[in-house]
Structure 1
Amino acid sequence: MIPDDAEQPMVRELTLRQVGGSIGATIPKDMADRLHLEAGDRVLAIETAQGILLTPFDPDVEAGLAVAAHAAKKYR
């Protein structure tokens, strides 16, 4: 979520790195500070037509996405 006091959204190039069996990206400190992100915070990664959207973790959103995924699978 972009802070209200932000005039323009930050755009940064991130480098993907191997992290065990996964791939991870590091968020630059200035961006993390503006978005009030800290190590250990939970976010949801949502695949979109434009790429990946990271959004703050919200149990209600997670539950809604699970219901939608189940319905999409059931009604293929």
Structure 2
Amino acid sequence: MNKPVSKPDETEVLQVRRIGNSLGLILPKELLARLNLQEGDKLHIVEQPERGLKLTPFNPKHAEAMEIARRSFRKYADTYRALAK
């Protein structure tokens, strides 16, 4: 039986640490499990107002580009069909 996933604790704090010649954050395994992240996954950084950051596996620039492409495909569907022949 799977253990229920708990909600994030508002008091979770990550400390910037030295990792080799770099600085980094160590993410606890419980947080990785909640976010469904594994070693090698990429996180995108989105700067927020008031010195905040949002780390997300979702790439907002890619999503915006895909929406532009979808609009183009809808608008010019006949042209794309003809080109595909």
TM-score calculated relative to the size of structure 2: 0.52
1:1-76 superposed matches below 5 A = 8-11=7-10, 12-20=12-20, 22-50=22-50, 51-58=52-59, 60-61=62-63
Aligned-residue RMSD, C-alpha: 3.0
Offset of residue 9 of structure 1:
3.4
Letter in 1 for 2:55: L
- Give 5+ residue unaligned stretches, structure 2: 66-85
Q: Which has the higher contact order (CA 8 A, sep 6+)?
A: 1
Task: Give % identity.
Answer: 36
Bigger radius of gyration among the two: 2
TM-score calculated relative to the size of structure 1: 0.57
Greater helix content: 2
Instruction: Give the count of matched residue pairs.
Output: 60
Greater strand content: 1
